[in-house]
Structure 1
């Protein structure tokens, strides 16, 4: 079975202009993975994010990391040096336990007047990763560090968070992945939006999830597959006030879209992260983001010029079929969260996924090894999304865009192989593009 999804919007994208209100798009950035990053690397990452039309980073900070203040200073200084890029603090209550309220206050106030700080309604935006057990700290915190507070209390859920509408100013959900052998739907997003009673909702978008870090008792996957494309399609329809991409650099959970820095990889993650770049997931972001912003006709953001887009293809797939080796203890779903345990190969499909931005009707030809090619029809201008099953085929993956009997764009991805490193299937994705 072939799958084709089409978003028939014009292939134009606005120039990079930092936003100060709704429709801003952020990427979740793990400060704990950035201790070794140089100012030059920070500036490079910020420029890469800008090129993808991401407005800023949500800086995940944990209370136990001694280098947090040093890394935050590098981050804010780099953003101010580059310009036109925003940051806000996301206090992680899960990594090292709860944050002391007075330390939260001092940290917010240390950066509130920095020019790179993202403000909403005149206040610094602040978020969390879980932390509902300390929900009662926030009236005190806001008294001494006035902020626009949008926590991610997914551990409390929409109904539980609703009880704190007098404290919070909005909310961010961490529920970015489907459970089991199905695609992600918007049920959870709608529940959050309803619970917030008109307060701003920050919607999560993520391309993938796979983690195998036994030292943290984490070894499971949730379905990625078509998620990157379908989730942006859902963003366009739901029109949340904000979007947060999970993540820029969480290598351990394999949902990074930023560059890989070896020093930032948690111990044990290199076996599935090394040689598996995800940078190409950013290639079509300007067009997803433009479509998200453009569907609201009341949006005052009007670009001063339009940037034409060349024909481009982005592809991703796992390099090992699910049957090729040991699952290495990985489960589909996370039983510790009460989810049904499944075989990972039941959740993650053995398919090649292709998103193609085309200026006119085209054919997308996908060939695995020397096997017969599959010809897909991109019926009109816009962003077309397809997937093609492995069906036992192995070898390099060649993908070609054809139009008027001519080759418009082409790329070759690494071989799908049943030869697994150390005998274990790698459940991470390899992502590439035709550029």
Structure 2
């Protein structure tokens, strides 16, 4: 119960800590909220101190709460209790809410809904439960096939959960149902809002569709041919959000609370002998930053942003530190692949989303990232190359949050070296990286070096196995 996004892929300036409870999206002065999807299924051995560590790290980087992705695990209640205890102990206003993993919970009989109601009510009155107008905020991963023994799915959710005598008037329900948004109108009495789980990635961009989606683009020769510009149309796009928001408005009596996703990366590499998942979504063209920018540009339509994810290591879209369990076998592409660079950028964009104003940059920040080996490497890997790996480019990616104008020099230690002008604010830059190359970035201003970042990294031409995860590094000025 760790790889939440598999089912999705197959089926198609005020911090919140001091704000009033969330109101509906249309209300004036609604505080914006940023949460991170936390896979509780990977926390079997967590103590309260482990939860304290995660909450402190998240809150220090502009994250207001965790969506507790829980499933049918024997430790679900214990670890939820530990998470709430940690949040209460900190007394910092950090919020928690359930994201029920309906690919894990049984949901074809009324008993399944009784389990969800029991969990909801057990924690609904805790002080750190995220609420909307006094109601417990609850989300899901999937659930579009759950009838709970009723005649159809909307009736099942309505009669057995949202409008059941035990929970009616007590839940603000914002599920992620993987359905055609045009059918949202059948969920009256169910959907108070919608979480568009897949909106953080360009999930419709596949190699098989590239000739139609990217006419004239050669995926083997993207750099310098205009192909990168064509790709940028898909990276971080708000198109599916608009579809969801438009159709959410057709749900009778819905509060229309819309929750968008942001995600930094995606790669998973499980063979047929385990979870049989081996594919990528394109994370190049500065997906993490571009998606944030597009959500911020449309912030009047969005109540909450959910980061996907804090700790889904098996799918490589984590931004939190590696601790707790790893899905069996995923250490091959997770160990040594630090994502703290993605986390380092989060506070800036989360703050801008919540306040509507870009925060002052007090220290220069340089973040660099790359995959650990060339796109077309051919290791003796029995699992084989992941589907759609050809979308990736052999580049290092750099983001500079600059206090003032300057210059950034990027080099792979060989023939690829370039100096770019940097302006105050956000700068997105990239440089090709050759096999055997390194990542080295130097930010200068008025002839002086202000940041010099050269992580322990080599673009390995002969990897032992396929690894399309991202290695990130970051540094700030003094």
Deviations 1:43-94 (A, max 9, x none): 011000001110000000112x111111111000001111220000011011
Q: Which has the higher contact order (CA 8 A, sep 6+)?
A: 1
Between Structure 1 and Structure 2, the one with more strand by share is 1
Does 1:361 find its partner at 2:384? no
Q: 2:156 maps to what in 1? A: 137
What is the aligned-residue RMSD (CA, Å)?
2.0
Q: 2:227 maps to what in 1? A: none
Q: 1:223 maps to what in 2? A: 282
Does 1:167 find its partner at 2:153? no
Q: 2:334 maps to what in 1? A: 273
Q: TM-score, normalised by structure 2?
A: 0.79
Task: Flag the 1:95–1:330 CA change in 2: closer, same or farther, 3 A.
Answer: farther
Helix, strand or coil at the partner of 1:224: coil
Q: Check whether the contact 1:57–1:88 (CA below 8 A) recurs between aligned residues.
A: yes
After superposition, where does 1:144-293 map in structure 2 within 5 Å?
A: 144-145=166-167, 146-154=170-178, 156-175=179-198, 176-178=200-202, 179-180=205-206, 182=231, 183-184=234-235, 185-197=237-249, 199-214=256-271, 215-225=274-284, 226-239=286-299, 240-261=302-323, 263-293=324-354
Q: TM-score, normalised by structure 1?
A: 0.87
CA distance in 2, matches of 1:350, 1:18: 44
Q: Check whether the contact 1:353–1:387 (CA below 8 A) recurs between aligned residues.
A: yes
**Which of 375, 397, 411 does residue 419 from structure 2 map onto?**
375
Does 1:128 find its partner at 2:140? yes
CA distance in 2, matches of 1:157, 1:255: 25
Helix, strand or coil at the partner of 1:277: coil
Deviations 1:145-191 (A, max 9, x none): 2200000002x131122321332100101112112363332211100
Q: Check whether the contact 2:340–2:474 (CA below 8 A) recurs between aligned residues.
A: no
CA distance in 2, matches of 1:265, 1:358: 35
Q: Check whether the contact 2:279–2:386 (CA below 8 A) recurs between aligned residues.
A: yes
Tell me by how many angstroms 1:18 deviates. 4.4
Task: Flag the 1:307–1:330 CA change in 2: closer, same or farther, 3 A.
Answer: same
Q: What is the number of equivalent residue pairs in this alignment? A: 398
Segment of structure 1 superposing worse, 282-291 or 86-95: 282-291
Q: 2:431 maps to what in 1? A: 388
Deviations 1:266-311 (A, max 9, x none): 0010000000011221112121122223338xxxxxx9xx875201
Ranges in structure 2 where 5+ consecutive residues have no aligned partner: 1-12, 23-30, 147-152, 208-230, 250-254
CA distance in 1, matches of 2:239, 2:185: 17
CA distance in 2, matches of 1:398, 1:68: 43
